[in-house]
Amino acid sequence: MILITEFMDAPAVERLQAAHATTYAPELADRQGEIPGRMAGIRALIVRNRTKVTPAVLDAAPDLKVVGRLGVGLDNIDLPACAERGVEVIPATGANTLSVAEYVVTNALVLLRDAYQANAAMMAGEWPRTQCSGREAAGRVLGLVGFGAIAQETARLAKALGMSVVASDPFLPEDHPAWAGVERADLDGVLAGADAVSLHVPLTPETKHMIDAKRLKQMRPGAVLINAARGGVVDEPALAAAMRSGHVAGAALDVFETEPLTAEAAQVFEGLANLILTPHIAGVTQESNARVGTMIADLVLDRLA
């Protein structure tokens, strides 16, 4: 039996249903407490980022063999608990790389140009040309904090636009071919040298609030920040303060410490200009949904065979 607790591309769901008894219940992502009671007899669990795969869920699933992750981040899955129980965890590595890279580059363009929030003024009969002049991306520096597969694809797209790229990643060997055409720096160097900074790190105790008030002050004045990695990597109140001071000129956030983002949590961003907030969809496009669903369906069926 297979349980799917978050949205999955329909053809992939149908393929699973043709091979095994499969329950498609994406509503369970909002009803976490019900999941353990649905785990009896389940051999494969398929989730995205909102379902918490906890010891309680695993203990309720003695037949569980595999957890398929419709994406790449694994911070919602208790990996040590899975390992202890012999449950394999399979992410959709590479399937949404292009979607996230395009999200980052698109937002870098929009934030640097700072011309796309003039609707209200225009509708009121104003003509704010000076305020909307903005900056070109060509000739600017994109800074990447973390230089894994998604950041490498982002660098490729940015360089095609005429941007130069500086990146930090202590885990990627210096002789890795991905460094060709990319300046290697430490975190301080990336923050100080980039016009647009994009984060590409997991949420760990070491990266929690990595971008705090001190780090934000290290950014080049007028730079913009993009976080499509994990909520919690950025200290959100500190970012809001840096934007209000004018030191950080704009930000795009796809991930948040509180998800879904509540009205109360969002108040910290009240009144900020040149701010883009999206609901954790950087890696979610029609094309990536199909790739992710197909990959996880194939891998789950292989493991259950």
CA dihedral for 104, 105, 106, 107, sign (positive or negative): positive
Residue with tokens 């950080």: 248
If you compute the radius of gyration of the chain from its CA atoms, what whole number of angstroms results? 21
Please pick, among 280, 287, 291, 303, the residue that the annotation labels catalytic. Answer: 280
Residue 176 falls in the annotated catalytic set: no
Residue 209 falls in the annotated catalytic set: no
Please pick, among 183, 184, 259, 303, the residue that the annotation labels catalytic. Answer: 259
Please pick, among 48, 230, 236, 291, the residue that the annotation labels catalytic. Answer: 230
5: left (phi over 0), alpha (psi -120 to 50) or beta: alpha
Report which secondary-structure segment, H or E, holds 69: strand 66-69
**HEC-encoded secondary structure of 250-300:** EEEECCCCCCCCCHHHHHHHCCCCCEEECCCCCCCCHHHHHHHHHHHHHHH
Structure tokens belonging to residue 149: 């597969």
Cβ(151)–Cβ(200) below 8 Å: yes
Q: How far apart are the C-alpha atoms of 190 and 185, rounded to whole Å?
A: 6
Structure tokens belonging to residue 136: 């070109």
Cβ(262)–Cβ(273) below 8 Å: no
Q: How far apart are the C-alpha atoms of 120 and 122, rounded to whole Å?
A: 5
Residue 102 falls in the annotated catalytic set: no
User: In DSSP terms, which residues pair with 224 in a beta bridge?
Assistant: 196, 250
Catalytic residues: 230, 259, 280
